[in-house]
Amino acid sequence: MGFEDVPFSITPDTALFFPGSQHVAAYNQISYACGHGMLAVMTGEIGLGKTLVIRTVMRNLPAEVKVAYLINPLLDDQELLRDIYTEFCEDPPPVGMTKSQVQAALLRHVLEGTAQGYRYAVIVDEAHRLHPEALEILRLLSNLETEQQKLISLILVGQPELDRTLMLRAMRPLRERIGVWLKLVPLHREQSDEYIHHRVRLTHCEGRFEFTQLALWYLHWRTRGVPRRINYACEKALLLAYARGQKCVSWPVARKACQEFSKVWS
């Protein structure tokens, strides 16, 4: 079929980052937040591309920005603090150190690094699953500052449950620190078409592979514009087209591809 790489990979492949308006806006604002001591929140339903935005940001941050990327939010406050220490210091804290000792050592390391021109950012994926105690630790870290600047940026990424958690009265001290609050939404029809064409263009040897207009319409309608669903459906559609010896994805092929996921997406 002429593809040099997998066009609709389910994994967050930063080489295929879609430069759609909301994703570019999220990328730009989170990149800025990482280098300027800000607290940023990005939420959205499953499959809208949150992790891909974050990993694209991390891939392109300047070397002086040190990132602690946490993908296991089901940690207590002490475990979370130790993980951040390990990410920033490149070694785990000595065994037996108390939480306050780890926090003090972490602060010293960040102060020394800041004096040398480094910036620090903590990025938490799946942040809607954080325990309240862990959120409090993150709030305290995000409050660390000198007279000139905040020392640690904090980026929270999660599903809409995170929005509801942050709106609780107990979360007011953290909520009032939020400088960027982004909410990803599904792609509309034109963006869905552009998303598919973008991935084909980057992976096909000739930069093109045809999806009929009716197939594109059907794919958007059935996937509701959710990028992860589009990937699943398009990958299946390409396999079906290849098996049939077709050089394009037609409406019957798109329909057949989506049938496999009908119960999951209902």
Q: Are residues 175 and 194 in the same domain?
A: no
4 found inside a domain: no
* Same structural domain, 96 and 153: yes
| Domain assignment present for 144 | yes
How many domains does the chain divide into? Answer: 2
Q: Is residue 10 part of a domain?
A: no
Among 183, 202, 230, give the residue marking a domain's end: 183
**pLDDT tens for each residue of 104-123:** 999 999 999 999 999 999 99
* Residue 153 sits in the same domain as residue 237: no
Confidence at 16, pLDDT banded by 50, 70, 90: very high
> What average pLDDT does the segment 77-89 reach?
91
Q: Which two tokens stand for residue 266?
A: 């209902």
Within this chain, do residues 38 and 169 fall inside the same structural domain, yes or no? yes
Indicate the pLDDT class of residue 266, thresholds 50, 70 and 90. low
How far is CA 38 from each of CA 6, 117, 223, 246, rounded to the nearest angstrom?
A: 36, 17, 34, 51
User: 3-class DSSP state for residue 218?
Assistant: helix
Q: How many CB atoms lie within 10 A of CB 133?
A: 13
Domain check: are 105 and 149 in the same one?
yes
CB 125 within 8 A of CB 70: yes
Query: How far, CA to CA in Å, does 87 sit from each of 40, 43, 187?
Result: 20, 24, 34
- Write the CATH number for 101: 3.40.50.300
Q: What is the pLDDT of residues 137-170, one digit of tens each?
A: 898 888 887 777 889 999 999 999 999 999 999 9
The pLDDT of residue 1 is 67
Residues 158, 248: one domain?
no
Rounded to the nearest integer, the mean pLDDT of the chain is 91
Same domain, 179 and 192: no
Are 50 and 58 in contact by the 8 Å Cβ rule? The answer is no
Give me the domain span that covers residue 197.
187-265
Residue 8 in any domain: the answer is: no
- Domain boundary (135, 162, 183) is at 183
pLDDT range class, residue 260, cuts 50, 70, 90:
confident
My answer on whether 25 and 153 are in the same domain is yes
Tell me the torsion sign for CA atoms 21, 26, 31, 36: positive
Clarify whether residues 45 and 154 are in a common domain.
yes
Q: Tell me whether strands 152-158 and 39-43 are parallel, antiparallel or unpaired.
A: parallel
**Is 2's pLDDT higher than 80?**
no
- Considering the domain architecture, whether residues 31 and 146 belong to the same structural domain is answered as yes
Residues 176 and 191 in one domain: no
Q: What is the pTM of this model?
A: 0.92
Angle at Cα 178 formed by Cα 174 and Cα 180, nearest 5°? 155
- 76: its two tokens: 């207590």
Helices (H), the chain: 21-35, 50-60, 77-89, 99-115, 132-142, 161-166, 172-175, 189-203, 213-223, 227-243, 251-259, 262-265
State which of 126, 155, 183 marks the end of a domain. Answer: 183
Asked if 40 and 169 sit in the same domain, the reply is yes
